[in-house]
Amino acid sequence: MVHLLIVCWLMLRPRTVPWVPAPNLEPLASIHAELARGTWQAVWHLGGSVLLLAPLGVLLPLAGGRLNVSPLGSLARTVFAGAMIALTIEVLQSGVPGQVPDIDTALLSTLGVALAHLAVVPGARSRLRRRYEHPRGATPKISRVGLAPQADVFSGGRTYL
């Protein structure tokens, strides 16, 4: 929760700038423009977008608290939630003075969520499952119990077979 509050404060606070560029609604356009400027500049500028929501790739599965889930299902749920949070931030940015919505930021943030999830969550769940798994021994023997006597509910008395 604190992470999302910090992200919202960074992304949704008004900025005073002398001019504001047009919003980028064409996917991959700003990524291509950054790569054209140079590799290191692209890594510096685009890396911030990748790292912005990356902690959610680990924090969202932790919030669920389940160890025995499908890895693919967990990845799909986490990436979907990260994409929705990134898109919500971009939509809210359109109403903030000085902030420019960019669809590539949402794409890169979603990529960061997916990469963080893939890098941390499967290994952590595996280690936790091994820690909490009990050593499997022989199945315990349970003595069999016979049938209980049948009661006649309507007559008020007991009838035994």
Name residue 24's beta-bridge partners: 102
| Residue-level pLDDT at 130 | 85
Residue 151 has pLDDT above 70, yes or no: no
- Reply yes or no on whether the pLDDT at 18 is more than 90: no
Which amino acid would we find at residue 109? Answer: S
How confident is the model over 72-96, as a mean pLDDT?
94
Which residue type, as a one-letter code, is found at position 94? S
Task: Establish if 22 belongs to a structural domain.
Answer: no
Model pTM score: 0.75
Q: Is the pLDDT of residue 23 over 80?
A: yes
Report the candidate in 115, 58, 109 with the shortest Cα–Cα distance to residue 87: 109
Q: How many CA atoms lie within 13 A of 94 on its CB side?
A: 10
Token pair of 130 as six digits: 């091994």
Is 78 a member of any domain?
yes
Per the structure, the count of domains in the chain is: 1
pLDDT of residue 157: 56
Which residues form the domain of 117? Answer: 29-129
Is 3 a domain residue? no
Residue 18 lies in a domain: no
Is 150 among the domain residues? no
Dihedral of the alpha carbons of 52, 55, 61, 62, in degrees to the nearest 10:
-140
Helical pair 2-12 and 56-64, crossing angle rounded to 10 deg: 140
3-state helix, strand, coil in the chain (%, to 5): 60, 0, 40
Specify the pLDDT at position 104. Answer: 94
Query: What pLDDT was estimated at residue 76?
Result: 96
Q: What pLDDT band is residue 150 in, cutting at 50, 70 and 90? A: low
Q: Which two tokens stand for residue 84?
A: 């929705």
